[in-house]
């Protein structure tokens, strides 16, 4: 039999083994996939309702017809996530560690450039196979072992949800204070980022409740099966509002200080020797960790990408965006010091709170407008960076009963319990060493396994159909890949030696300050060695190759063989129909 085009809606199902015997030209169709060579994308044309634990319509590979997100959408997503208060203040945290302004900005750029690499590698899988992160992760960790990195990502995202929700509540709290005529000048010494829940609990917790309701309504109206249109439009509409708002905020800070920001630019580093280099790597890795959740999560969005070019081109500007917003924050702090609003020292740099400064010193109407912009900006990043991913992760735990939206509901409950905003509001050292570096190691270990498996071992290709099969290629040992578990644990233990107090030697402090990089390299290398020497020969013997050339199989080769290219809508329409049969 000859191969069919992706427009055929009734292929005759046969086994993968039979397809291999009958020839690779048949395999592309008979294994339920269609390869669109010009787009470099794979479509899964078969559903798996019998695999109730591993498959549901939300998890299914996005049909080609619904992969419509262009570079502009991905650029807007990143713009919406970057233009927020934590980015504005992050460079000041670097100066609080003892670095000068130029070093802090360079490290912001380099740290985000580093994390962009695994982000693009992980995004490639989402765009090629049309799958979200939890399903992609099954290829590396096993169909059941994938729960481990998914829950790590979910819990960390929930922590950030608490931080961002705290900032929304803070901005809303200041709006309330301004509208009620409170004497903010008298209260200025007590209105720190962490004091609003204590002094104004009704405002704070009411805002929390409204934020939850608003997000849930958005998610309810934007299901994955429909390519999440509400999220797409939120990204596009919020981006220009945030650009204008932050530009106005930056201009007013500078004008208040007569455009004199020399208190920042003349601030000298006080560190030398080992302490200097420890601060360098700590702040570098803080910036890597800052978006390390997205280095795992981006397939949740790139599954809707028009092409690899779209998702790549749209994401490349991210490191520059981070450095620009960081520079705005530093120059704004320098101007605020010139205006007499703050003093430039370690304590003030760690506690630098532009939200409070806006409420205390900006004209009332302008303060209202900018606080609303801060709420919109923070809400947007909370949606894209901290809410969508946990929904997939939690739903992946029990796909038979949990849809993506139900996963979101459970995630919100967990988010309220994590309370990571306390680290953000309690000072720079706790924020850097107790939050960013601590979770950076966990995500570094996860991303080391992801990167080395997908880019080094499999060379961006795997058997798509088996992701949803209980007895498929990614079962490993009882559904768990031991190489991933061992590699991850080795990387984490080595990184945390100093943090856990096992040793206080300088080398161990270097490993922890270098947390993401340390865990990424150790976990990735250990994983690669174990896969090549043990797991592939024993549990994936169908794979042929080596570390130098990568590994492949007959089914993979057939899956990516050139197949007739029909009009979009044939296979895509079939999947849409199948998904509607299994809501």
The predicted-structure confidence for 6-51, as pLDDT tens digits, reads as follows 333 333 333 333 333 333 333 334 358 899 988 889 999 999 999 9
Q: What total of structural domains would you count in the chain?
A: 2
**In terms of residue numbers, what domain contains 50?**
1-60+553-583
Does 1 share its domain with 72?
A: no
457 domain-assigned = no
Four-point Cα dihedral 358, 360, 363, 368, nearest 10: 60
**Whether residue 244 sits in one domain with residue 184:** yes
507: which 2 tokens?
């080398």
Residue 524 within any structural domain of the chain = no
pLDDT of amino acid 253: 96
Task: Pick the last residue of a domain from 410, 435, 460.
Answer: 435
Tokens (6 digits) for 490: 């080795």
Helices (H), 15-100: 16-22, 24-30, 71-82, 85-96
**R_g of the chain computed on alpha carbons:** 25
Give me the residue label for tokens 């999440």.
Answer: 228
Residues 19 and 68 in one domain: no
Judge if 37 and 82 occupy the same domain.
no
402 within a domain of the structure (yes/no) = yes
Nearest to 127 by CA among 261, 312, 288: 312
The answer as to whether 454 is a domain residue is: no
Q: What is the DSSP string of 119-131?
A: HHHHHHHHHHH--
Q: Which of 494, 546, 578, 489 is nearest to 152 (CA)?
A: 489
- Please name the residue that has the structure tokens 């169908």: 542
- The per-residue pLDDT for range 371-397, each reduced to its tens digit, is 999 988 888 777 777 877 787 778 767
Which CATH number belongs to the domain containing residue 73 in this structure? 1.10.4160.10
**15 and 118 belong to one structural domain:** no
| pLDDT given for residue 231 in this prediction | 62
pLDDT at 570: 39
**Residue where a domain stops, chosen among 401, 435, 469:** 435
CA distance 308 to 581: 30
pTM value?
Answer: 0.85
- Say how far apart CA 480 and CA 510 lie, in whole Å: 32
152 in a structural domain: yes
Is residue 508 one of the residues assigned to a domain? Answer: no
pLDDT of residue 108: 98
Give every residue of the chain whose pLDDT is below 50, as ranges.
Answer: 1-30, 227, 564-583
Question: In terms of domains, do 353 and 373 share one?
Answer: yes
For residues 89 and 130, state if they share a domain.
yes
Q: Say if CB 254 and CB 332 are below 8 A apart.
A: yes
Position 566 scores a pLDDT of: 42
d(CA 336, CA 249): 12
Q: Residue 24 falls within a domain, yes or no?
A: yes
Residue 472 DSSP symbol:
S
pLDDT of residue 572: 41
Whole-angstrom distance, CA of residue 143 vs CA of residue 230? 30
The 3-state DSSP composition of the chain as helix, strand, coil percent (nearest 5) reads 70, 5, 30
DSSP class of residue 65 equals: G
User: Of 435, 462, 497, which closes a domain?
Assistant: 435
Same domain? 103 vs 53: no
Task: Give the C-alpha separation, 523 to 494, whole Å.
Answer: 10
| 79 and 52 both lie in a single domain | no
The DSSP secondary-structure symbol of 297 reads H
Same domain, 30 and 119: no
pLDDT at 26: 35
H or E element in which residue 272 lies: none
Pair 15, 144 in one domain: no
One domain for residues 211 and 326: yes
Element (H, E) at 33: strand 33-36
Assess if residue 472 is contained within a domain. no
pLDDT by residue (tens digit) across 251-266?
A: 999 999 999 999 999 9
């Amino acid at each position: 039999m000859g191969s069919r085009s992706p427009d055929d809606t009734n292929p005759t199902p046969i086994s993968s083994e039979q397809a291999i015997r009958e020839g690779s030209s048949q395999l592309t169709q008979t294994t339920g996939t269609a390869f669109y060579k010009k787009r470099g994308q794979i479509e899964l044309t078969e559903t798996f309702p019998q695999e109730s634990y591993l498959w549901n319509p939300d998890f299914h590979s996005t049909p080609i017809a619904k992969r419509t997100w262009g570079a502009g959408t991905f650029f807007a997503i990143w713009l919406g996530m970057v233009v927020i208060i934590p980015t504005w203040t992050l460079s000041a945290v670097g100066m609080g560690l003892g670095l000068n302004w130029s070093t802090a900005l360079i490290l912001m750029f380099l740290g985000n450039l580093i994390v962009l690499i695994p982000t693009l590698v992980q995004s490639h899988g989402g765009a090629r196979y049309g799958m979200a992160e939890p399903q992609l992760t099954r290829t590396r960790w096993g169909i059941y072992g994938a729960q481990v990195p998914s829950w790590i990502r979910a819990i960390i995202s929930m922590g950030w949800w608490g931080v961002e929700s705290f900032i929304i509540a803070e901005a809303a709290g200041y709006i309330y204070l301004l509208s009620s005529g409170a004497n903010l000048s008298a209260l200025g010494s007590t209105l720190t980022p962490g004091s609003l829940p204590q002094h104004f609990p009704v405002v704070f917790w009411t805002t929390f409740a409204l934020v939850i309701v608003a997000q849930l309504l958005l998610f309810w109206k934007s299901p994955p099966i429909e390519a999440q249109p509400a999220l797409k439009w939120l990204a596009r509409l919020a981006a220009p509002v945030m650009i204008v708002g932050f530009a106005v905020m930056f201009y007013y800070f500078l004008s208040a200080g007569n455009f004199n920001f020399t208190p920042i630019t003349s601030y000298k580093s006080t560190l030398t020797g080992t302490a200097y280099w420890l601060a360098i790597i700590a702040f570098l890795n803080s910036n890597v960790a800052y978006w390390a959740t997205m280095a795992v999560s981006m397939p949740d969005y790139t599954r809707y990408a028009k092409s690899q070019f779209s998702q790549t081109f749209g994401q490349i500007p991210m490191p520059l965006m981070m450095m620009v917003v960081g520079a705005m924050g530093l120059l704004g702090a320098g101007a605020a010091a010139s205006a007499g609003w703050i003093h430039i020292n370690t304590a003030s740099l760690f506690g630098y709170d532009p939200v409070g400064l806006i409420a205390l010193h900006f004209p009332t109407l302008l303060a209202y407008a900018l606080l609303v912009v801060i709420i919109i900006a923070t809400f947007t990043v909370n949606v894209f960076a901290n809410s969508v991913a946990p929904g997939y992760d939690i739903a992946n735990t029990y796909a038979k009963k949990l849809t993506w939206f139900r996963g979101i509901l459970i995630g919100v409950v967990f988010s309220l319990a994590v309370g990571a905003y306390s680290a953000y509001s309690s000072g720079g050292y706790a924020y850097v060493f107790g939050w960013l570096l601590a979770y950076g190691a966990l995500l570094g270990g996860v991303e080391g396994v992801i990167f080395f498996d997908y880019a080094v071992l499999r060379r961006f290709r795997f058997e798509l159909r088996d992701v949803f099969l209980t007895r498929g290629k990614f079962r490993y040992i009882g559904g768990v890949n031991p190489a991933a578990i061992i590699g991850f644990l080795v990387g984490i233990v080595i990184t945390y030696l100093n943090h856990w107090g096992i040793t206080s030697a300088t080398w161990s402090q270097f490993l922890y300050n270098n947390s993401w990089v340390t865990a990424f390299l150790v976990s990735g290398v250990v994983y690669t060695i174990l896969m090549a020497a043990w797991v592939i020969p024993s549990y994936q013997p169908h794979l042929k190759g080596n570390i130098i050339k990568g590994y492949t199989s007959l089914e993979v080769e057939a899956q990516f063989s050139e197949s007739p290219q029909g009009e979009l809508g044939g296979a895509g329409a079939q999947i849409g129909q199948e998904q509607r049969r299994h809501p």
